[in-house]
Amino acid sequence: MRKRKIGPVIASVLCRLLGTLILLIVIAVTASIVIPQFRGIEVYHIVSGSMEPEIPVGSAVYINTKTSPENIAEKDIIAFQSGDSLVVHRVTKNQVVEGYFHTKGDANEGEDLTEVTYDQYVGKVIRHIPYVGQIMMIFTTSIGKVYVLCFAACGALLNILAGTLGKRREEEEEDDIND
């Protein structure tokens, strides 16, 4: 009887671990973008530092679009349309009767110059996660989607390779037993 070779076992285990890790990363990032949308939550990427240090540049913000503007309190963080841009700032005052907010970016010295009308209001920020917005930006571009598919394919191929290495090792062990 011959000694077992440890090299193929280690290679199989490493391929399986790496392949599974890659697939879990792809699933987690994709799920963090797609699943919230089913609950009326939009996910956006922060590109300016007006809300630092609370919400750093590159963060993903989760915005509940179902929160009524009348229910927004002072110090809540909201998202609103300003021209072609989506802005995320803190509410300093909600003028419910008049139908507008006074807002301010945490990093800005003074309040925003113009009021935010309820028509501009998009929703209330319910969560923010640093750095995830940068990853999200990559994954949501056309080339990023290709990268995600390639990354997932690599994970699947590593798992297939691990299975093949495991079968080969079993066959060699059977041959050693039969000899």
Query: Is position 51 within any domain?
Result: yes
**What is the DSSP code (8-state) at residue 15?**
H
Domain count, the chain: 1
Question: In which domain, by residue range, is 134 found?
Answer: 7-178
Q: Are 41 and 64 in contact (CB under 8 A)?
A: yes
Q: Are 57 and 99 in contact (CB under 8 A)?
A: no
Query: Is position 146 within any domain?
Result: yes
* Residue-level pLDDT at 100: 95
- Phi and psi torsions of 42, nearest 5°: -100, 150
Q: Are 119 and 77 in contact (CB under 8 A)?
A: no
- Other beta carbons within 10 angstroms of residue 52's beta carbon come to 14
* Residue-level pLDDT at 63: 96
Query: Is position 1 within any domain?
Result: no
Query: Is position 119 within any domain?
Result: yes
- Phi and psi torsions of 58, nearest 5°: 95, 0
Per-residue pLDDT of the chain in tens (179 residues, 90 and over written 9)? 455 566 777 888 899 999 999 999 888 888 877 888 888 899 999 999 999 999 999 999 999 999 999 999 999 999 999 999 999 999 999 999 999 999 999 999 999 999 999 999 999 999 999 988 887 887 778 898 898 899 999 999 999 998 888 787 777 766 666 66
* Residue-level pLDDT at 16: 92
Looking at residue 31, its amino acid is: A
Query: Is position 2 within any domain?
Result: no
Query: Is position 159 within any domain?
Result: yes
- Return the residue matching tokens 């390639």: 150
HSE of 17, CA atoms in CB hemisphere, 13 A: 6
Q: Are 92 and 74 in contact (CB under 8 A)?
A: yes
The CA–CA distances, whole Å, from 116 to 52, 95, 108 equal 20, 10, 16
- The structure's pTM equals 0.72
Cα 127 from chain centre: 12
* Residue-level pLDDT at 5: 65
CATH of the domain at 105: 2.10.109.10
